[in-house]
Structure 1
C-alpha cells in the first residue's frame, strides 16, 4: 500500500493534524514502511522521503519542526523553523505560526496533540512514562497559555501507544507512580508475580484532565499489538531485533 495512513481525532477537527504509522513509506527491512527516525539505521534518503510524505499527507507545503527527544518535561515554543541539526533537547513543541508543522516521534510512547483553535495555538508532546509522570503535558499547556491559549478551550488527543495488555512493568515502576499519588494504583493491573500491566494512555488522559482540559480523546490504538500499522520499540526488543522504526504525529496551522 503506497498511500500514507493518517489517523485523525474528532477532538481536533478543523485543525491540520494526523497520527501516522508505518503504512505508506519507502523504508525496507526491520523498519519497513514510513520510518521517520534518524536514530534508526535506516538510510537518510529513505527517512527524508518518508518525512516529506508525512508532511504532504497532513499539511502540504508546511515546514516540519521536531526536537531531540529526551523523555523530559521540557517544552519549547517555536516561532520560526530551525535546522534539524540544531533542534533543542525537549519533548514538546508549541507554535502559533502558520506554515509550520510540529512533529513528535514515537515507537510505543504516547504522542499527544493539542489545539486551541480560537487562539490559533497548537502543540505536540512526547509522553513516555518518564515525561508523563514528570509533567510534560503540564509544561505544554502552560506554554500554550503563554501564547494566548486558554486551557478550558484546549482540545487534546492521545495517539497510538503501547496498551496496558502489552506493557508489563516491575514492582519498582509501580511503586514510583504510587509514591507520587496513591490513586495512580488504578492505572495498573496485576500481572505475573512482582509485575504489573501499566495503562500509559489512561494515565496521560488523567494528567490532561487534572490540568483542566475539557476535551480529551484517546484513540485506543496499541502500537505493540498492531505490527502491520505501527512501529514498536518493545516488540523489537522482545524479538531481539537490533533496530526499530519510529512513527510521527503531526499538527500545524495552515498558512
Structure 2
C-alpha cells in the first residue's frame, strides 16, 4: 500500500514528510505504519515500516536517525548514526546522507530547515518539552551549525488539537506560573477542566525564537483514527498500547 505523507510548502525543496499510519505492515491496535520500537509491536514489523520511510527519503534504514525521547529540552547535533541513541528530544544536522526523525502520538512533531545554510532539524515537542524550551534549543543548535534564524522555516505536523486536549487546573498553573501570557492558550471547559492549545503554543514559541516562518498542518491526531495514532485516544478506548507516527527530514534538492 502507498504511504500517506503530509508535506508543507514552507519546506519545499527539502525532502520531508509527516507520515500517517496508512501503508504500513503492522496489525491490530498498531495497524498501519507503526515506527516505534518502544511499542509492543513486533520489532521486525517495525523495521519493515521504518525501511519504507527510509526508502521514501532516499536513505538506508540505518541512516534514518532519531533520539531516545524523554520530554526534555535537549537538542543534539547528529553527524552520523549513533548507538545507543542519545537521550534528547530534538536533533539537527548539516550532514548529507542522513534523515532526522521524530516519533509522536499526540505531541508535536516539528521539522525545520534553513535551505540557504543547508541545516535541518527535527523536534519532539510535547507540552513539557515545549514549555521548557525544546523548540528554542533546536533553533539555537541550528544556528550553531551556520543557520540564520530569519532563514529558518518550521512546520508543526499532526498533533492533538485544543478541542481534544482536556487538562486540569494544575496543568494550566504550570504554564501561568512560567508566564502569565500563556493563559491565552487555555479555554475553560467543564467544571475545573481546561482545553490546551498545544500547536498554538508551539507556533508562539517558534515565533518567539525568531524563525522566518512557521505553520501547523492543522491535522488532529486524536480526531482522525484512520490516519493517526493517538496516545490519549488509546487511553480513552482502553487499548493495551498504541502506535507511533514518524516525521522525518533530510538535506536534498528534491522534495518528497
TM bucket, shorter chain: over 0.9
1:137-152 aligned at under 5 Å gives the runs: 137-152=135-150
1:78 aligns to what? 78
Question: What is the rounded CA distance, in whole Å, between the counterparts of 1:45 and 1:101 in structure 2?
Answer: 20
Shift of 1:60: 4.4
1:174 equivalent in structure 2: 172
Q: Which residue of 1 aligns with 2:99?
A: 101
Match of 1:115 among 107, 113, 116: 113
Q: 5+ unaligned residues in a row in structure 2: which ranges?
A: none
Structure-2 residue corresponding to 1:12: 11
Query: What is the TM-score normalised by the length of structure 1?
Result: 0.97
Task: Kindly report which structure 2 residues correspond to 1:15-34, keeping only aligned pairs within 5 A, or say none.
Answer: 15-34=14-33
Per mean C-alpha deviation after superposition, the further-off stretch among 52-61 and 113-122 is 52-61
Question: Counterpart in 2 of 1:136?
Answer: 134
Residues of 2 paired with 1:61 and 1:29: CA distance?
A: 27
Please give the residue correspondences for 1:242-253 in structure 2 after superposition, counting only pairs within 5 Å: 242-253=240-251
Runs of 4+ in 1 over 4 A off after TM superposition: none
Provide, for residues 23-81 of structure 1, a one-character-per-residue CA deviation record: whole Å limited to 9, x for no partner: 01000000100000111111011000000111222334471001000000000100112
Q: How many residues align?
A: 252
For 2:151, what is the secondary structure of its paired residue?
coil
TM-superposed CA distance for 1:101, in Å, is 0.2
1:38 aligned partner:
37
Q: Which residue of 2 aligns with 1:90?
A: 88
Long gaps (5+) in structure 1: none
User: Could you state the TM-score of these two structures normalised by the residue count of structure 2?
Assistant: 0.96
Correspondence for 1:65:
65
CA RMSD, Structure 1 to Structure 2 (Å): 1.1
Per-residue deviation at 1:224? 0.3
